[in-house]
Amino acid sequence: MYINRKRASVSICIWSAIFVPAFTMLFAVIGTAVEYGEIYDFPVLFTLGVICVVLIFFYVRTLVYQMRIAAMEKVFQNDEDGVVPADELAKYLNISEAKLRRIRIYGERKRLLINCVFDAENNRYVLTDRYDQEKAVGTKPFVGMSCPGCAAPLKIRAGSTGTCPFCGRDVTAPDIVVEEHLP
């Protein structure tokens, strides 16, 4: 489970409690303006109308964020290795990475996303309940090796691949098993 359902439900209930009176009041303001034909207290009616429209906007925005977070949860549940790249998630949700970033910030700020950590360095989501630290490339030691194309000295993590910054050739580091010797 990657969404805090209790918080999400409470948030929707609170905004619904605000939305219903605001929507009703907006229709009352419009009905008053139409019924009399001549508006006697325009500033008050205009202010009430603006307040109602703003509250309705925030309600709809909250619903959209909650639906996007629920769609993110579906992707997280179908993932196997515990790592979801942000660009793949944005492509699946059919939104830009900037919108995905705003949704992530909203989810973190409202504490709706749980068991999910964003790794900004690698631009990916790490699912803490499925991520295996021993298989992760980021925890393996660095290996000194030379590029097979230009013989430039490189420092790369064991078991990972990359490109040489000098010649652009693909470089694959050997997988090294570090054994601990106990006294």
* Per-residue pLDDT tens over the stretch 61-77: 999 999 998 888 888 88
Residues 33-89: tens digit of each pLDDT? 777 766 677 787 788 888 888 988 999 999 999 999 888 888 888 887 778 888 888
Beta bridge partners of 3: 113
Q: Is 90 exceeded by the pLDDT of residue 23? A: no
Pair 113, 69: CB distance under 8 Å: yes
Single-letter residue type at 27: F
| Spatial separation of the C-alpha atoms in residues 160 and 96, rounded to whole Å | 28
Enter the tokens of residue 52: 């109602």
pLDDT reading at 182 higher than 70: no
Strand partners, 7: none
pLDDT tens track for 137-150: 556 677 888 888 88
